[in-house]
């Protein structure tokens, strides 16, 4: 009964004919989702295009590396700088290496670099991505539209360096469901975290803490942009209400978060110290790091906020209290830039051309004599100094070798301590064996064994070591002519290098 | 110096009485000097010399005795002033101001050989309209940032300070604001695919990356900081800006000439073009940052040229 033919026959005042689609309002949700979908496309695209690379790269999960890259960049975004290219590549390496452990390190680096460059989209002039999608306009006409977006953008840093920043789109892809107020979303996450901790669900707590940190970063980014606008022109900003309100709000926020996160910190520290299960202990320790980082970011935010007032007063002195001039000038920003930007390019270009033609000044035309031209063409090109000035040869003075033990002795001791992981030995036995080799060696062995009583687990973990020397005191007295104390049990522990690498990437 | 010139004038004065009447600006009876001493070829040479000095925009009158002396003559001898003006006009130059602070501030007329053409300025700009727009906008943005308030542009003593990254983020902020406004209205403002000319101008800027890593650590020419950097480097060569430091991509301050150029030439020309497009409301000339025109801007406070948004 509701077929189009029926509607056509109906009285014209009842229906204006079949509508091709609902209006733009109903279409908006769809286009928003289309855009959200488009943001993930570059990641999928990586996995599609890896087949085209010269070499066998199918073993690498490129989308995973890309998401990790966005994670690293987001976490390194601070007020002034973002992340460094090299730094991101280095941090990606353990994950890439874990995906294909047998491949050479150079290839791992190549993969990490390729992913990062593709996220920036180095090949295009805009260094961004474009997706095309269609919508129905208010008049029912189907229009294809371009959606331009970036995932990682390059921003200028101090001294001409280039830093990476994750765009809002990237953060949205990463964290998801960020179409909410930053502040309230953060509060929600914190509350969630507290509940999770009180119930002892630390794994979930870490996830929530990391999300809270993403939001903290995003919040700082918003404030940074805001303060920048404040610096530019006193009058452009409402210093009577809006800015003081904002600063007060932000300071409240910092104070609130600081108190909140300190409370969390105390809680987790307690959880860390009381936790029985090593896994819980480790996760709690990581959580402490994350919350500390949050607090550091808040402190940074606060110092920026405190600078805003004096900055305003100095700018006001400069701008507002100068004697007014009799002439009124053209308002370049309000009367030219602002009306110009929303115009279609075709029209805007006429205005910018007019400004360019009369605003660039003059150039005296160069005229070349043939004689000079010949000279110029025959002059060999100047070598560009890639390496800078030559370094003077450093004047080295040989320092006397005053080490107690020689390299050979160290090698001998290490050989002695290179124990099978399932066969630990007593210190007394090791000392006796050492004494047979060299009279000085027992001292070195004893030193190494005592040192191993507190093995550098953290360092080994970070460096991905395979094995670690340790020693334990089981209460037995050492019976030795030269040494006294406990007869330590010295052994070697095997470490799970691959697991640690994975754990490391997740933690950071 | 002046003695020297006097000798010249004596040497030339006799045989060139006829020249004076044929010179582009015939002696005006109003000028007392002109009435007593007819314009000589030596005067013409000095006038041309003054214009030539004016063509070297980086030259400061305060550091060049000859320049300062010629400027003094320009101010004190109306006939000489008219002669110098005529020389400039004949060369296709427009005299903006002649003073000790700005020197002989001349600029190129529209079809003058001294005029800068976009095609010579940036090769890509002649073929790619997006690049052409960005280069033009960069110059406009540098001026807008250097003279943020109308009073600054009007005040002869004002010295504007800009940085390359500052100009870039300034425009980006304005673009960002437009984007936010579009989103507030719930319009779908993504441009239509097959009509690039109808795309809103700010999108082109917003889309272009602000910087990029290059192999040799130079600025990426196609990035917006690259384009702004090119603009300020060019303006520095034009004697409009002086480099003061390397912070934030390069820090610069304005010269008197730049203020004149923007106030008397570029601003008006761009304004006229905008008016022709019918997009600028007629204002009463009060010195405020005006909100952009349009009925949808009523919620903005009056002074919010760059409204605050958190």
ipTM of the complex, rounded to two decimals: 0.74
Q: Measured between alpha carbons, how far is B161 from B251 in angstroms, rounded to an integer?
A: 7
Residue B250 region by backbone torsions, left for phi larger than 0, else alpha for psi between -120 and 50, else beta:
left
Give CB contacts under 8 A, 24+ apart, made by B153-157. Answer: B153/A329, B153/A330, B153/A332, B153/B259, B153/B262, B153/B263, B153/B267, B154/A325, B154/A327, B154/A328, B154/A329, B154/B263, B154/B287, B155/A322, B155/A325, B155/A329, B156/B101, B156/B256, B156/B259
Which among B107, B238, B263 has CB closest to A330? B263
Q: What is the pLDDT of residue A202?
A: 57
Please report the number of interchain residue pairs, chain A to chain B, with beta-carbon separation below 8 angstroms: 355
A328 near B CB under 8 A? yes
Q: What is the pLDDT of residue A424?
A: 83
Q: Measured between alpha carbons, how far is A367 from A35 in angstroms, rounded to an integer?
A: 54
Q: Measured between alpha carbons, how far is A284 from B116 in angstroms, rounded to an integer?
A: 65
Q: What is the pLDDT of residue B27?
A: 42
* Range name among A77-86, A186-195, B7-16 with the lowest pLDDT average: B7-16
**Mean pLDDT for all residues in chain A:** 73
A225 near B CB under 8 A? yes
Mean of the pLDDT values across residues A16-32? 53
Using CA atoms, how far residue A469 sits from A170, A311, A417, A421, B99, in Å, is 43, 57, 8, 9, 82
Q: Which positions in chain B touch A348 (Cβ < 8 Å)?
A: 133, 137, 201
Phi, psi of A55 (to 5 degrees): 120, 175
Mean of the pLDDT values across residues A301-314? 74
The set of residues, in sequence order, having a beta carbon less than 8 Å from that of A198 and lying 6+ positions away, is A267
Note which residues in 340-359 of chain A have CB less than 8 A from chain B.
340-359
| Residue A506 binned pLDDT confidence (cut-offs 50, 70, 90) | low
CB contact under 8 A, B262 and A153: no
Percent of chain B with pLDDT over 70: 72
Phi, psi of A141 (to 5 degrees): -90, 135
| Residue A216 binned pLDDT confidence (cut-offs 50, 70, 90) | low
CB contact under 8 A, B197 and A344: yes
Using CA atoms, how far residue A257 sits from A212, A309, B60, B84, in Å, is 11, 22, 57, 70
Please tell me what DSSP assigns to residue B203: H
Give the E-state strand segments of B76-211 in sequence order: 93-99, 103-108, 161-163
Percent of chain A with pLDDT over 70: 68
Q: What is the pLDDT of residue B310?
A: 23
Q: What is the pLDDT of residue A271?
A: 66
Q: What is the pLDDT of residue B66?
A: 85
3-state secondary structure of A141: coil
What 3 state SS string does A349-368 have?
A: HHHHHHHHHHHCCECCCCCC
Q: Do the beta carbons of residue A295 and residue A258 sit within 8 Å?
A: yes
Percent of chain B with pLDDT over 90: 0
Return the residue in B51, B53, B104, B188 with the most chain A beta carbons within 10 A, the one to mutate for interface testing.
B188
Q: Measured between alpha carbons, how far is B114 from A361 in angstroms, rounded to an integer?
A: 9
Q: Do the beta carbons of residue B208 and residue B214 sit within 8 Å?
A: no
Q: What share of chain B is helix, strand, coil (3-state, %, to 5)?
A: 55, 10, 35
CB contact under 8 A, B200 and A120: no
Q: Answer yes or no: is pLDDT of A284 > 50.
A: yes
A418 near B CB under 8 A? no
CB contact under 8 A, B116 and A85: no
Q: What is the pLDDT of residue A501?
A: 64
CB contact under 8 A, B209 and A327: no
Could you report the per-residue pLDDT of A56-73, keeping only the tens digit for each? Answer: 788 888 888 888 888 788
* Range name among A317-321, A427-431, B80-84 with the lowest pLDDT average: A317-321
| Residue B280 binned pLDDT confidence (cut-offs 50, 70, 90) | low
Tell me the two tokens of residue A317.
């002195």
Residue B187 region by backbone torsions, left for phi larger than 0, else alpha for psi between -120 and 50, else beta:
beta
Q: Answer yes or no: is pLDDT of A22 > 50.
A: no
Q: Do the beta carbons of residue A476 and residue A458 sit within 8 Å?
A: no
Q: Do the beta carbons of residue A122 and residue A140 sit within 8 Å?
A: no
Tell me the two tokens of residue A279.
């896994």
Q: What is the pLDDT of residue A180?
A: 42
Mean of the pLDDT values across residues A391-395? 79
Mean of the pLDDT values across residues A27-48? 78
Better-scored residue on pLDDT, B139 or B248: B139
CB contact under 8 A, A361 and B239: yes
CB contact under 8 A, A162 and B213: yes
Q: What is the pLDDT of residue B294?
A: 36
| Residue A330 binned pLDDT confidence (cut-offs 50, 70, 90) | confident
Q: Which positions in chain A touch B52 (Cβ < 8 Å)?
A: none
Q: Which positions in chain A touch B145 (Cβ < 8 Å)?
A: 232
**Mean pLDDT for all residues in chain B:** 72
Return the residue in B95, B211, B228, B232 with the most chain A beta carbons within 10 A, the one to mutate for interface testing.
B211
Tell me the two tokens of residue A487.
């007869």
- Please give the biggest Cα pair distance in chain A: 115
> Which residues on adjacent β-strands are paired with residue B253?
B161, B242
> Which residues on adjacent β-strands are paired with residue A136?
A142
Q: What is the pLDDT of residue A193?
A: 53
Which among A354, A362, A365 has CB closest to B273? A354
Q: What is the pLDDT of residue B204?
A: 82
Which among B114, B130, B204 has CB closest to A363? B114
Tell me the two tokens of residue A204.
């979930």
Better-scored residue on pLDDT, A129 or B194: A129
Tell me the two tokens of residue B130.
């997006």
Mean of the pLDDT values across residues B263-271? 80
Q: What is the pLDDT of residue A120?
A: 84
Q: What is the pLDDT of residue A178?
A: 37
pTM of the predicted protein model: 0.51
Q: Where are the domains of chain B?
A: 2-108, 118-297
Distance from CA of B207 to the nearest CA of A (A): 6
| Residue A327 binned pLDDT confidence (cut-offs 50, 70, 90) | low
Q: Which of A497, A474, A500, A478 is nearest to A487 (CA)?
A: A478
Q: What is the pLDDT of residue B235?
A: 87
Which range has the top average pLDDT, B35-39, B62-66, B210-214?
B62-66
Q: Do the beta carbons of residue A229 and residue A236 sit within 8 Å?
A: yes
Q: What is the pLDDT of residue B36?
A: 56
CB contact under 8 A, A156 and B249: yes
Distance from CA of B191 to the nearest CA of A (A): 5
Q: Do the beta carbons of residue B158 and residue B152 sit within 8 Å?
A: yes
Could you report the per-residue pLDDT of B189-203, keeping only the tens digit for each? Answer: 677 777 767 777 888
Q: Which positions in chain A touch B196 (Cβ < 8 Å)?
A: 345
Mean of the pLDDT values across residues B29-46? 65
Could you report the per-residue pLDDT of B235-254, keeping only the tens digit for each? Answer: 888 888 888 877 777 888 88
Q: What is the pLDDT of residue A346?
A: 80
Which among A155, A345, A348 has CB closest to B211? A155
Q: Where are the domains of chain A?
A: 24-174, 182-319, 407-507
Q: Answer yes or no: is pLDDT of A219 > 70.
A: no
Distance from CA of A202 to the nearest CA of B (A): 34
Nearest CA in chain A to B155: A325
Q: What is the pLDDT of residue A224?
A: 64
Distance from CA of A489 to the nearest CA of B (A): 55
Q: Which positions in chain A touch B149 (Cβ < 8 Å)?
A: 233, 235, 319, 331
| Residue A211 binned pLDDT confidence (cut-offs 50, 70, 90) | low
Which among A144, A351, A357 has CB closest to B110? A357
CB contact under 8 A, B201 and A330: no
Q: Which positions in chain B touch A135 (Cβ < 8 Å)?
A: 188
Q: What is the pLDDT of residue B13?
A: 41
Q: What is the pLDDT of residue A68?
A: 84
Q: Which of B26, B119, B109, B58 is nearest to B257 (CA)?
A: B58
Which range has the top average pLDDT, A272-276, A326-330, A401-405?
A401-405
CB contact under 8 A, B57 and A222: no
| Residue B184 binned pLDDT confidence (cut-offs 50, 70, 90) | confident
* Range name among A74-88, A153-167, A370-384, A446-460 with the lowest pLDDT average: A74-88
| Residue A252 binned pLDDT confidence (cut-offs 50, 70, 90) | confident
Q: What is the pLDDT of residue B298?
A: 32
Q: What is the pLDDT of residue A59?
A: 83
CB contact under 8 A, B289 and A235: yes
> Which residues on adjacent β-strands are paired with residue A295?
none
Q: Do the beta carbons of residue B43 and residue B83 sit within 8 Å?
A: yes
Q: What is the pLDDT of residue B7?
A: 42
Cα separation of the two ends of chain B: 62
Distance from CA of B157 to the nearest CA of A (A): 10
Mean of the pLDDT values across residues A14-21? 42
A141 near B CB under 8 A? no
Q: Answer yes or no: is pLDDT of B290 > 50.
A: no
| Residue B264 binned pLDDT confidence (cut-offs 50, 70, 90) | confident
Q: How many CA atoms lie within 13 A of A403 on its CB side?
A: 8
Q: Measured between alpha carbons, how far is A164 from A157 in angstroms, rounded to an integer?
A: 9
């Amino acid at each position: 009964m509701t077929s189009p033919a029926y509607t056509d026959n109906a009285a014209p005042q009842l229906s204006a004919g079949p509508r091709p689609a609902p209006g733009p309002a109903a279409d908006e949700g769809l286009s928003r989702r289309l855009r959200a979908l488009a943001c993930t496309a570059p990641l999928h695209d990586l996995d599609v295009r890896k087949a085209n690379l010269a070499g066998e790269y199918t073993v690498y999960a490129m989308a995973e590396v890309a998401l990790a890259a966005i994670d690293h960049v987001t976490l390194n975004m601070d007020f002034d700088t973002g992340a460094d290219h090299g730094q991101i590549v280095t941090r990606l390496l353990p994950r890439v290496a874990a995906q294909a452990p047998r491949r050479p390190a150079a290839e791992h680096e190549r993969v990490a670099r390729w992913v990062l460059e593709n996220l920036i989209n180095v090949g295009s002039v805009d260094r961004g991505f474009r997706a095309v999608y269609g919508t129905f306009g208010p008049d029912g006409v189907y229009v294809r539209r371009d959606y331009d977006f970036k995932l990682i953008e390059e921003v200028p840093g101090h001294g001409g360096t280039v830093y990476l920043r994750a765009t809002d789109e990237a953060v949205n892809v990463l964290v998801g469901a960020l179409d909410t107020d930053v502040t309230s979303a953060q509060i929600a996450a914190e509350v969630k975290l507290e509940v999770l901790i009180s119930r002892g669900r630390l794994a979930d707590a870490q996830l929530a803490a990391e999300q809270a940190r993403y939001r903290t970063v995003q919040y700082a980014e918003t404030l940074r942009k805001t303060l920048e606008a404040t610096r530019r022109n006193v009058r452009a900003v409402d210093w009577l209400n809006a800015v003081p309100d904002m600063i007060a709000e932000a300071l409240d926020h910092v104070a609130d978060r600081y108190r909140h996160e300190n409370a969390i910190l105390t809680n987790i520290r307690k959880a860390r110290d009381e936790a029985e299960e090593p896994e819980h202990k480790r996760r709690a320790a990581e959580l402490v790091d994350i919350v500390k980082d949050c607090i550091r970011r808040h402190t940074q935010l606060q110092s920026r906020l405190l600078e805003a007032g004096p900055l305003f007063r100095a700018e006001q002195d400069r701008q507002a209290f100068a004697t007014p001039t009799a002439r009124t000038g053209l308002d370049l920003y309000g009367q030219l830039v602002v009306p110009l930007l929303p115009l279609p390019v075709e029209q805007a270009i006429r205005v910018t051309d007019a400004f360019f033609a009369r605003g660039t000044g003059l150039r005296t035309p160069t005229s070349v004599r043939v004689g000079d031209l010949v000279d110029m063409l025959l002059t060999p090109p100047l070598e560009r100094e890639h390496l800078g000035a030559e370094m003077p040869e450093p004047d080295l003075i040989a320092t006397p070798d005053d080490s107690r033990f020689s390299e050979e002795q160290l090698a001998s001791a290490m050989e002695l301590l290179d124990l099978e992981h399932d066969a630990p030995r007593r210190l007394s036995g090791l000392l006796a064996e050492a004494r047979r080799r060299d009279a000085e060696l027992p001292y070195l062995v004893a030193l190494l064994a005592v040192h191993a009583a507190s093995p550098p687990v953290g360092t080994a973990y970070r460096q991905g070591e395979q094995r670690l020397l340790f020693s334990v005191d089981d209460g037995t007295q050492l019976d030795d002519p030269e040494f006294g104390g406990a007869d330590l049990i010295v052994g070697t522990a095997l470490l799970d290098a691959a697991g640690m690498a994975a754990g490391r990437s997740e933690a950071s | 110096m002046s003695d020297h010139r006097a000798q010249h004038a004596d040497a030339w004065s006799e045989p060139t009485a006829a020249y004076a009447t044929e010179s582009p600006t015939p002696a005006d009876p109003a000028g007392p000097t002109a009435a007593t001493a007819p314009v000589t070829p030596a005067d013409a040479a000095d006038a041309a010399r003054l214009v030539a000095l004016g063509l070297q925009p980086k030259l400061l009158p305060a550091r060049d005795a000859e320049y300062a002396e010629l400027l003094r003559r320009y101010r004190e001898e109306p006939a000489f002033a008219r002669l110098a003006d005529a020389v400039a006009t004949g060369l296709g130059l427009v005299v903006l101001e002649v003073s000790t602070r700005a020197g002989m501030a001349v600029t190129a007329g529209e079809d003058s050989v001294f005029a800068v053409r976009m095609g010579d300025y940036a090769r890509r700009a002649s073929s790619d309209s997006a690049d052409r727009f960005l280069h033009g906008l960069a110059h406009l943005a540098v001026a807008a940032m250097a003279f943020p308030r109308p009073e600054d542009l009007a005040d002869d003593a004002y010295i504007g300070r800009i940085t390359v990254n500052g100009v870039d983020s300034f425009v980006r902020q304005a673009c960002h604001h437009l984007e936010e406004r579009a989103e507030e209205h719930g319009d779908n403002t993504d441009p239509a695919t097959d009509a690039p000319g109808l795309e809103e101008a700010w999108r082109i800027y917003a889309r272009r990356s602000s910087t990029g890593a290059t192999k040799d650590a130079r600025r990426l020419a196609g990035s917006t900081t690259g384009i702004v950097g090119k603009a300020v480097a060019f303006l520095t060569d034009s004697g409009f800006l002086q480099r003061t430091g390397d912070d934030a991509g390069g820090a610069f301050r304005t010269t008197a000439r730049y203020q004149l150029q923007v106030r008397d030439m570029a601003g008006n020309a761009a304004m006229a073009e905008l008016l022709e497009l019918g997009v600028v409301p007629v204002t009463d000339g009060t010195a405020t940052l005006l909100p952009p025109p349009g009925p949808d801007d009523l919620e903005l406070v009056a002074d919010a040229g760059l409204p605050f948004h958190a």
